[in-house]
């Protein structure tokens, strides 16, 4: 729920009782880890990514790691990586959920608007595909890579 002081994430039991899980200054995205009730929450004002697990929270990344107004968060299919898309500078940040590596930034010559899962473990569409160029990230590579996807063009009425 939104309020004048930010966003509150509330768990509602089957009986209708509410319990506050987290309060964010600004909603920057939410994703559940595969096969789990653990949840990733990004705060777009505080520039943080936290993992909530059974009422406890663990900060996974901050502005020092590259978060800059996150607008979306996703997780790899194997639960190894979290990926955030930044609204302020178009960068993406991959965070190891096992703590094995430091957060890694990937640059995009775009303004990410989503993290829509594609086929594979850690591939995500960053922008809506269609008649304008779109972009995707493969975050499962040793170094996360961003790829350009050419626009689709209609040949109807064209002499080409």
Instruction: Compute the average pLDDT of residues 145-158.
Output: 68
d(CA 49, CA 65): 10
The reported pLDDT for the residue numbered 110 is 84
d(CA 25, CA 30): 14
Closest to 122 in 3D by CA, of 76, 65, 71, 160: 76
pLDDT in tens, 64-101: 999 999 999 999 999 999 999 999 998 999 999 988 89
Q: What is the pTM of this model?
A: 0.82
The reported pLDDT for the residue numbered 159 is 43
How many Cβ atoms are within 10 Å of 148's Cβ, its own excluded?
11
Closest to 94 in 3D by CA, of 56, 142, 58: 142
The reported pLDDT for the residue numbered 154 is 53
pLDDT in tens, 14-66: 998 888 888 889 999 999 999 998 999 999 999 999 999 877 889 999 999 99
């Amino acid at each position: 729920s939104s309020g004048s002081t930010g966003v509150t994430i509330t768990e509602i039991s089957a009986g209708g009782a509410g319990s506050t899980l987290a309060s964010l200054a600004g909603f920057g995205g939410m994703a559940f880890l595969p096969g789990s009730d653990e949840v990733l929450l990004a705060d777009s004002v505080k520039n943080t990514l936290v993992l909530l697990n059974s009422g406890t929270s663990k900060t996974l990344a901050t502005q020092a790691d590259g978060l800059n107004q996150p607008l979306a968060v996703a997780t790899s299919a194997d639960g190894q990586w979290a990926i955030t898309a930044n609204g302020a500078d178009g960068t993406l940040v991959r965070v190891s959920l096992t703590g094995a590596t430091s957060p890694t930034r990937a640059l995009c010559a775009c303004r990410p608007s989503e993290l829509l899962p594609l086929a594979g473990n850690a591939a995500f569409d960053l922008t809506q595909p269609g008649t304008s160029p779109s972009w995707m990230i493969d975050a499962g590579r040793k170094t996360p890579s961003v790829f350009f996807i050419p626009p689709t063009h209609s040949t109807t009425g064209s002499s080409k």
